[in-house]
Structure 1
Amino acid sequence: MAEVVTTRREGAILEVTLDRPKANAIDRSTSVLMGQIFETFRDHPELRVAILKSAGDKFFCAGWDLKVAADRDEVNAYYGVGGFGGLERLRDLNKPVIACVNGIAVGGGFELALSCDLIYASDHSSFALPEIMAGQLAASAAIKLPKRIPHHIARELLLTGRWMDAAEAHRWGLINEVLPREKLEQRAWEVARQLAAGSPLVIAAVEETMRVAEALSYQDAITRVSSRHLATVDKLYGSDDRMEGARAFSEKRAPVWRGR
């Protein structure tokens, strides 16, 4: 049997490919596996960036596998360390994940893309949250979408289940860029290499600061940062890497990040 999730590595970049024909829908065992993969990515000291993509040209991910939806045990099952798709609830992930969306991202597939830091999509991609017609709550989307796009657009998508094409998603600022399908992966890798060349300590501090600040006022958030209350910020402020950028600039060379 073919592997439903495969990985390949290029230096500090990990590419994760969902390959579960026909629609790349995710069942419990696939979700658990994805959680294990992203947990390993999170904890691996040499990995800095991940790209999440899928096989095929029609579906990025159809979300939860509806073939098992009527199975109460499957519905209430443990979906792994990261929650659905391995990313929805993965704690302390301070490394960027790039969603490379080629095709339909529907239901949990849309939510999976929302769990990533950057979203690049092919021009034939589309997005929808039809859970209202399946008796389900798109909980992750209900929390995240109103923070990403205008409130009433988010509410409309959640309450009507209507489709949104890539151009509209880009117009609302939901995705970073729309590309021809033949250029999509090339662009995702280009961005991944750019991120991998940056300071891993700064990237981790940005990730944690943005995540924590979502639930705080500006004053509370800036106080936590300036007092080095956040672990990633404290590590950055006390690191050799903090001075490396300035030294590299003055010496007219590329910085060498050591993560310490």
Structure 2
Amino acid sequence: MKFTQRLSLRVRLTLIFLILASVTWLLSSFVAWKQTTDNVDELFDTQLMLFAKRLSTLDLNEINAADRMAQTPNRLKHGHVDDDALTFAIFTHDGRMVLNDGDNGEDIPYSYQREGFADGQLVGEDDPWRFVWMTSPDGKYRIVVGQEWEYREDMALAIVAGQLIPWLVALPIMLIIMMVLLGRELAPLNKLALALRMRDPDSEKPLNATGVPSEVRPLVESLNQLFARTHAMMVRERRFTSDAAHELRSPLTAL
């Protein structure tokens, strides 16, 4: 508290604004992160379900596992592709894999008890994944589509950062503008302080309150009243001293 009292009003107001802006930014970031992650999870869960339904429309009875998986490309030569964005596999009811995406789908562990959404891991990995399991319309195959949780978190973080980083970059500019505006608004107080330093002790001229903030105007008016009373008192004291000197001088003259 003592440290802040030694600071100027402009610095204190700037610090208060900075603290409030930072707290607001943190709270906004948390709320935005929560809402974005919920929306991203809902969006990608819908995507997983739609992709699983699309796979279920294939004629799975004609699938030749060896030929189909051999024809599935592992990488694309052009474009930006994230291997964790989406993966899939198709199993028979006895757990035999008949088709996958040629990448992470090969490591999806089979589960005959799951139906719908579930969390899990790939074989030999600890990273959490989001899976949706679906049985084909003929009941012969189990379809699973998965996505890594980290991919969703990175996507949500990118969205939140895209919204909040510009505001964070603008914060120093806002601080500079605020300090300039505070300096401009406090300029009448500096002029008032200069007028007090240059003022003659016996001056009866009131202080100029033009441009002074309304919060400080009562102080200026009180000072002007004080100066007026002080000047009147000094005038009375001088008159009294003059009269007393005259009264003392008259008897001495007679002697």
TM-score bracket for this pair, using the shorter chain length:
under 0.3
TM-score (norm 2): 0.24
Give the TM-score normalised by the residue count of structure 1. Answer: 0.24
More helix by share: 2
Larger gyration radius, structure 1 or structure 2: 2
